[in-house]
Amino acid sequence: MDEAVRQIVRGIARHYEMAARATPEGVAGAIAEIKGLFNHGPHLKAKDIERFHLQLSILADAIGEACCSKGQAQGVEMMAPAEGYIRVDLSVIELLQLSRLAHLGFLHMMPNYRGLEIQRFSDELDAQEGTRSIYKLESVIPLNERPFADLATHYKGREQLISDWWQPTPADRVGYVRGLGSLVALAPATASS
C-alpha cells in the first residue's frame, strides 16, 4: 500500500509542482499522515483501513488544490501582457467605435486631406459609446505617459460636446427652420363679445 501511494504521488507530482518551489504544504502534510499510518505495523485492522481511506481522500483533495493553484498561476502568467505592453479588453462595439474614430483622426492628420469623406455619429447614444471607448483607452495610458493632466477633463469635454449638440429642443423652437423663421401656429380665434 505504501508503494502504491508513492507511485501515485510520483505520477501526479509533475501536475502540481512548480519550478523552484517545494511540495505544497497540504500535499506534504497528507503524505506524512499516510506514512504515519504505515508505522503502526504490517497488518491493517478494519478501523486502520477506514482511516487510510480518509487520508487518501485528504491527499487527493490536497493534490487537486495544488494542481488548481498551479494552473491558475500559469493562466495568470500566460494572460499577462509582455513587458512594456498594456492589455485592454474591448467589446466589439468599442472596437468598431475606436476603429472608426482612429480612421477619421488619421484622415484629419494627413496634409492632403480635403474632408470629402463625411463620418458622423448617428445619434447621441452612438456618440456616448464613442466617448466611452476613447475613455477606456485613455484610462490605461500610464500616468507618467499621458499627454494630458486630467483624464476626467477630457471625458467631460467630450460629454459636453455631446450634450450641447443633442440638447432637447425648447418648446418655443419646435418647428423652427433655420433661415425660414418660426412656423407660427395660429391660435384659435377667441369669441369676442
What single string gives the DSSP state of each residue in the chain? Answer: -HHHHHHHHHHHHHHH--TT-PPPHHHHHHHHHHHHHHTT-SSPPHHHHHHHHHHHHHHHHHHHHHHHHHHHHHHHHHHSPPTT-------HHHHHHHHHHHHHHHHHHSTT----S----SSHHHHHHHHHHHHHHHHTS-GGG-SSS-HHHHHHHHHHHHHHHTPPPPGGGTT-BTTTB--PPPPPPPPP-
Tens digits of residue pLDDT in 153-184: 888 888 888 888 887 756 655 554 444 344 33
Band (130; pLDDT cuts 50, 70, 90)? confident
pLDDT for the residue 154: 82
What is the average per-residue pLDDT within 132-142?
Answer: 86
* Percent of the chain at pLDDT exceeding 90: 0
Tens digits of residue pLDDT in 108-124: 777 777 776 677 888 88
Greater model confidence, 43 or 124 = 124
* Percent of the chain at pLDDT exceeding 70: 72
| Mean pLDDT taken over the chain | 74
Tens digits of residue pLDDT in 5-42: 667 777 676 666 665 566 777 777 887 777 777 676 66
